[in-house]
Structure formats: structure tokens, C-alpha cells
């Protein structure tokens, strides 16, 4: 059974050290997604996979509401800089993307007329606005197959170039070699100095 909003927000704010409007958005979008998909929240299984489009405040609300988290391999972040997320029922493979309506900020002031400033109006208004006024929902098809998204826990191999271990089936086969994503050209870092392979401590 889904917990009340105030309990979820209390958990989110304890993780975040305060409560802010984006946590409310993350919480409310999660609760509405659960309702649309017919899933009780929070989950203790792997039936729900969340793909968030930003990190930060919103995520604390999503985690508190859904029970999904990176360590449980039920939360992914694709940082597009958007307060939005896709909620994917891994059994039915039904997916919906939820994002705030363009008018949500201005509408928040209507739902929190006593607010002292726009920030407080969003904090309070987002908690009481009807979900269909606060968010837009799109039925989507996740383009990466589910088996690739969740990968294969327990699978291990070694990169033929750097010799580092690769887990969960994330290796790349290229020109007869088994490569990690970094050695296959998807590296997000570069060495600080040419030829510097390891930091000397």
C-alpha cells in the first residue's frame, strides 16, 4: 500500500536535509506513475525501473516514493538536465514518461495563495495541485531492450586492453577483443598527463 505524501516527503527531506519544490515534484510524479501503472509504492522488488533525466533534489523524492535506487539496480540516471523521469514496469514492459507542465510554476501560486514568495508557492502548491494540472504524461517505448538496461548480474570478464574487471555484461566486443566501455572509446575522463597511468601515493 502506497504511503501518505507527508511521510514520503519527511523521508526525502531527511535525506536532503531540507524540503524543496523539486523533491515534491519527484515524489508526486512517482506516486502518479505508480497509480497509472497500477503499482503499489514503494517497491521492494525489481518490478519498477526508473530512468531519471536529472540528478539532485528531484531524485531524493523519487527514491523515497518508489523505493528504487542505484544500488538495487532499479534506478538509472540519463542526465538531460530535465525534471522528468520514465517509469518502466519491467514485467509488462509498459513505460510512461512524466514531466511538469509548462504552467506548473505559475499555477502553484493559485494553489498556495498565502505563500510569501514564488519558491514557497511552488513548495506548497505542488503538494496540493491535482496531478493532471501539475504533470504531463506520455506513453513511451524505451529504445534500449530491457535485458540491456538491467544487464546480467553476476557476469564477469576482463578487458583485453586495461585488464580491469567488467561486471554485469557491460563489455564490448570489437575486432576480436573484449573491451570495457572506456577502452572502446566511451571514456568520460582522460589521464591528467600523457603517459600517467596511475597516481603514485
Give the pLDDT of residue 193.
66
Going along the chain from its start, the domains and CATH numbers come out as 5-148 (3.30.1330.130), 151-201 (no CATH)
Give the pLDDT of residue 160.
94
Give the pLDDT of residue 144.
84
To the nearest 10 degrees (0 to 180), the angle between helices 5-16 and 21-37 is 130
Q: How confident is the model at residue 3 (pLDDT cuts 50, 70, 90)?
A: confident
Q: How confident is the model at residue 43 (pLDDT cuts 50, 70, 90)?
A: very high
Give the pLDDT of residue 201.
44
Give the pLDDT of residue 196.
54
58-101 confidence digits (pLDDT tens): 999 999 999 999 988 999 999 999 999 999 999 999 999 999 99
Task: Outline where DSSP puts E strands in the chain.
Answer: 48-52, 75-77, 85-89, 95-100, 135-140, 156-158, 165-167, 172-174, 177-179
CA-closest candidate to residue 33, choices 132, 106, 103, 119: 132
Q: What is the pTM of this model?
A: 0.86
Percent of the chain with pLDDT over 70: 94
Amino acid at each position: 500500500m502506497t504511503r501518505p505524501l507527508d511521510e514520503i516527503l519527511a523521508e526525502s527531506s531527511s535525506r536532503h536535509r531540507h524540503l524543496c519544490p523539486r523533491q515534491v515534484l519527484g515524489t508526486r510524479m512517482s506516486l502518479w506513475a505508480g497509480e497509472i501503472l497500477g503499482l503499489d509504492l514503494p517497491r521492494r522488488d525489481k518490478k519498477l525501473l526508473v530512468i531519471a533525466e536529472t540528478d539532485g533534489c528531484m531524485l531524493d523524492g523519487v527514491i523515497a516514493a518508489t523505493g528504487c535506487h542505484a544500488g538495487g539496480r532499479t534506478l538509472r540516471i540519463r542526465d538531460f538536465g530535465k525534471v522528468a523521469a520514465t517509469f518502466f514496469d519491467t514485467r509488462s514492459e509498459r513505460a510512461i514518461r512524466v514531466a511538469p507542465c509548462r504552467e506548473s510554476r505559475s499555477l502553484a501560486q493559485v494553489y498556495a495563495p498565502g505563500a510569501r514568495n514564488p519558491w514557497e508557492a511552488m513548495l506548497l502548491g505542488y503538494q496540493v495541485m491535482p496531478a493532471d494540472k501539475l504533470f504531463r504524461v506520455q506513453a513511451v517505448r524505451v529504445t534500449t531492450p530491457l535485458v540491456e538496461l538491467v544487464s546480467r548480474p553476476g557476469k564477469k570478464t576482463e578487458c583485453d586492453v586495461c585488464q580491469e574487471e567488467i561486471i554485469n555484461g557491460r563489455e564490448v566486443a570489437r575486432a576480436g577483443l573484449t573491451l570495457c566501455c572506456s577502452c572502446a572509446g566511451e571514456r568520460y575522463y582522460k589521464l591528467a598527463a600523457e603517459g600517467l597511468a596511475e597516481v603514485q601515493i
